[in-house]
Amino acid sequence: MTRATPPLDVLIVEDEPLIAMDIQFMIEDAGHTVLNTAASLREVTALPEAEVPDVAFVDIQLAEGSSGLDVNTLIQERWPNTIIVFVTANPKKIPEDFAGAHGVIAKPFSSHGFTAALQYLQEGVSEPPPVSPQPGSFVASPRFAETWKG
C-alpha cells in the first residue's frame, strides 16, 4: 500500500451543513485539502472516481435516509486505500469490526479533540506508527492499528 503524504486529500460525508463546515474549517486550518463534501450515499456515488481521498470522515445517519455504513462500503470498493473514520453521535451503531473502517470520532467533539484526532490520523497514515499518543477523541479500529506494522 502506498502511504499518503501531507497535505491529505479529505472527503467529508455529513448531512448537517454547520457540522460539515466546521469539519472543513478544521481540516483546512490544519493544512489539508477538502476534495468534496456530500450529504448522502447518492451524492457520494456521484463524485468523480478520479478524485481519490486519502481520508474520509463519514457520519452514520445521512440525508435521504442513507447510511454511513453504505457509504463506507462504497468508499472501500471505489477507493480501497482511503482511510475511513466515522464521525457520529451514534457510535453504538458501528459494528464491532468497524465494518472495515479505520476508526471513530464521537460527536459532540471539540475543535481541539478533532484536531488532535486529525494529527494522529495524519501520523498513522503517513508514517506509522503515530508518534503522538492516541487522543481520547479518536478510537482506532484493530484494522487501522495493523496498518502501522508495515
Cell numbers linked to 4: 499518503
> Per residue in 22-60, pLDDT tens?
999 999 999 999 999 999 999 999 999 999 999 999 999
Q: Looking at the domain assignment, is residue 136 inside a domain?
A: yes
The domain containing residue 138 runs over which residues? 9-147
Taking the C-alpha atoms of residue 85 and residue 71, their distance in angstroms, rounded to an integer, is 11
Q: Looking at the domain assignment, is residue 3 inside a domain?
A: no
Q: Looking at the domain assignment, is residue 33 inside a domain?
A: yes
**CATH at residue 131:** 3.40.50.2300
> Per residue in 58-113, pLDDT tens?
999 999 999 999 999 999 999 999 999 999 998 988 998 999 999 999 999 999 99
Number of domains into which the chain is organized: 1
Q: Looking at the domain assignment, is residue 97 inside a domain?
A: yes
Q: Looking at the domain assignment, is residue 25 inside a domain?
A: yes
Taking the C-alpha atoms of residue 150 and residue 136, their distance in angstroms, rounded to an integer, is 24
Q: Looking at the domain assignment, is residue 2 inside a domain?
A: no
Q: Looking at the domain assignment, is residue 4 inside a domain?
A: no
Its pTM stands at 0.94
